[in-house]
Chain A
Amino acid sequence: MRARMRTLTDGAATGLAVLSTILVVAPLVAIFIYLIYKGASSLNWAFFTRNPVPVGEMGGGMANAIVGSAILLAVASLIGVPVGISGGVFLAEYGRGTKLANAIRFTADVLNGVPSIVMGIAAYSLVVVPQGHFSAFSGGVALGIMMIPTVCRTTEEMLLMVPNAVREAALALGVPRWRSVLAITVRTASAGIITGCMLAFARVAGETAPLIFTAFGNVGWSGKLSEPIAALPLQIYVYALSPYDEWHRLAWAGALVLIVLIVLAVSLVRYVTSRGVLKGAS
C-alpha cells in the first residue's frame, strides 16, 4: 500500500514537472512564432528606407529610428565595451580570488539587476540636466552604463574558460605578465569576448525605458549627438500605444528586426561557449 502511494506520488510529481514545462514552453514558443509571423507580414523594404509619415498616410518606415538606434548603440559601445572588457580582464587575470575582485563581481551582478529606468534617471541627471536638453549623447551614456556590468562579467567568464596551461606556458617562456594576458589569454578568448559584447549590445538595443527621457525620440533625421534622436524600441513603444493600424504594423516590423538581432547574438554566444574557447583543449 505504502509502496503504491510512493509510486503514485512519484508519477504525479513527474507529471506536474512535465506539465509545467509544457505550460512554460508552449506559450513562450507561441509568443515567438506570433512575433515572427506578425513581423514578417508587416516588414517591407520601405520600413528600412523611409521615415515615419504623418498620421493617415499609408506607408512610411523607421529609417530614422534604425539609424538613431545605431548611433545610440555606437556611443554606448564606446563607453561600455572598453570599460567592461578591461574590468573583466582584471577580475579574471589579476584579481582572481581576492576580496576586491569578489566585491566587484558582486557589485556588477547587483548593478545588472538595477532597473533600466533608474539608469535612465541617472543619465538624465548626469547629462540632460547640465546640458539643458534631451540628447542622443545622454541616451548613449545610459545604455553604455548598462553595458558595463554585462560585458565585464561575460569577459571574465570567457577568460576563466582559458585553460591555465596556456598561461603557464606563456609565463614559462619568460613573457611578462601584461603581455601574456593581452597577447595570449585575451586573444585565446577573443571570440568569446566579442560574442559577449554582442550579447550586451543586443540586450541594450531593445532597452526602451532609459531612452524615454534621454534620447527622447524624434520624428525626423537627427545627425547630431546633442539633439534628441529616434530609437527603434522607443518608436515601437509609441506606435504600439497609438490607435492607428498602420502604426501597429510598423511596431510589429520593428519588433521583428530587434528579435532577429537578439536571436543572432544569443545563438552566437551559445555556439562559441558550447564549442569551448580553445578547440581541442580544456
Chain B
Amino acid sequence: MVASALSIFGIVVLIAYELVVRSQLAWSKFGFSFFSSTYQDSFTRLPIYWDPVNGHFSALPFLYGTLVSSFLALLIAVPLAIGLAVFLTEMCPRGLRAPLAFITELLAAIPSVIYGLWAVFVLVPLLREHTNPWLIRLLGWTGFFGDDNPTGLGFVAAGVILAIMILPIISSLTREVMTAVPISQREAVLALGATRWEMIRMGVLRNARIGIVGAVILGLGRALGETMAVTMVIGNSPEIHRSLLANGSTMASVIANEFAEASGDLHLSALMEIGLALFAVTIVVNAFARLLVWAVTRGAPAQVH
C-alpha cells in the first residue's frame, strides 16, 4: 500500500522525466528563445511563428492564446461562480440547495468533448449570428473586436466555453471554503446589527478570501490545460491577433492538433516542449491553489465533492 501511495510521486517524476528527455532536441536548438522568438516571412514581411515545414518553431502564439482564452474565461466565470456560491451557502432555501449542488456537480463531470460538441453546433452559431456583430458595433473602436473573422470561432468562443466548464469547480470550492467559515463569525457580525449582505461581506467573504483566491487559481489551472472544447472552437491558427474575435491557438490545442501527425523529430520535440511547459505551469498553479484552499479548510471536516 505504501508502494501504491508512493507511485503517485513516481508518476509525477516519470512524466517530468519523459517530457524533459524527449524535448531535448528542441531545447538544445532554441533554448529560451523558443518562448519568445519570431521569424519573418521573406516575401510578405509578416511575422510567422510556427512553420514546421521550414523548421521555424516558436511557442509565442500558443502562450498568447492560452493566456488570453483563460483570462477571458476567468473574467466571465469568477463573478458568476462567487455569486452562485454566496447564494448556495447563505441565501438558498434548504430544499433548493441539494438539487443545485447536484447540477453543478454533474456539469463538472461532463466530458470536454461534449462541451465542444455543444459549442460547435450551438454556441458558435449563436456568437456568429448575434453576439459578435453586436460586439463589433459597440466595441469595435477599441480594436479588440475586429470584424475580419466571419466564422464565429476564436478567442471569445473559447473563453465562453471555458468559462462554462470551469464554473462548477470554482463555485464548488468557493462553497467549500465558505462553509468552513465558523457559524460564530456570522453570528458575531449579525449581533452587531449587520444586514445579511454585510454579514456575508465582513463575516464570510473576508474570512474565506484566501480560499476563494485558491479556488479561482484552481479554475485557472483547469482553463490553461483544457484541450478538446477549446481545440474545437478556437480556430487553430498559430498567429497573434489583437482582436479577440480572431482565430488563435493554445498550447493544449496545438498538441492535440499536430502531435499525431508531427512532421519530423524537431516538430515532435517542439510539441513535447510545449507539453513540458504546460505540465510545469499547471503543477505550479495547482499546487499554489491547493495550498491556499487548504489554508482555509484545514480545520473543517473532509467533504466529498
Binding site for B on A (CB under 8 A): 6-7, 9-10, 12-14, 16-21, 23-25, 27-29, 31-32, 34-35, 82-87, 89-91, 94-95, 100-101, 103-104, 106-122, 124-126, 129, 134, 145, 148-149, 152, 154, 157-158, 160, 199, 202-203, 205-209, 212-213, 216, 233, 236-237, 240-241, 248, 251-252, 255, 258-259, 262-263, 265-267, 269-270, 273
Shortest beta-carbon contacts, A-B, top 5: A206-B111, A115-B225, A20-B83, A113-B286, A13-B197
Whether the Cβ atoms of B15 and A110 lie closer than 8 Å is no
Whether the Cβ atoms of A115 and B302 lie closer than 8 Å is no
Q: Given A17-B87, A154-B304, A273-B304, A262 and B111 touching (CB < 8 A)?
A: yes
Whether the Cβ atoms of A237 and B232 lie closer than 8 Å is yes
Q: Which residue of B lies closest to A13 (CB)?
A: B197
Whether the Cβ atoms of A113 and B222 lie closer than 8 Å is yes
Whether the Cβ atoms of B9 and A107 lie closer than 8 Å is yes
Q: Given A10-B197, A236-B117, A237-B232, A110 and B286 touching (CB < 8 A)?
A: yes
Whether the Cβ atoms of A94 and B1 lie closer than 8 Å is yes
Whether the Cβ atoms of A122 and B225 lie closer than 8 Å is no
Whether the Cβ atoms of A213 and B260 lie closer than 8 Å is yes
Specify which chain B residues have a CB less than 8 angstroms from the CB of A114 in the assembled complex.
15, 225, 279, 282-283, 286
Q: From the candidates B107, B111, B201, B225, name the one contacting A28 in the complex (CB within 8 A).
A: B107
Binding site for A on B (CB under 8 A): 1-2, 4-9, 11-12, 14-15, 18-19, 21-22, 79-84, 86-88, 90-91, 100, 102-107, 109-118, 120-122, 164, 167, 171, 195-198, 200-201, 218, 221-222, 224-228, 232, 252, 255-256, 259-260, 271-272, 275, 278-279, 282-283, 285-287, 289-290, 294, 302-304
Given contacts A24-B171, A157-B303, 15 further A-B contacts (CB under 8 A): A20-B82, A21-B83, A21-B87, A25-B104, A87-B8, A90-B4, A110-B12, A111-B8, A114-B286, A116-B112, A118-B225, A122-B15, A212-B256, A270-B105, A273-B304
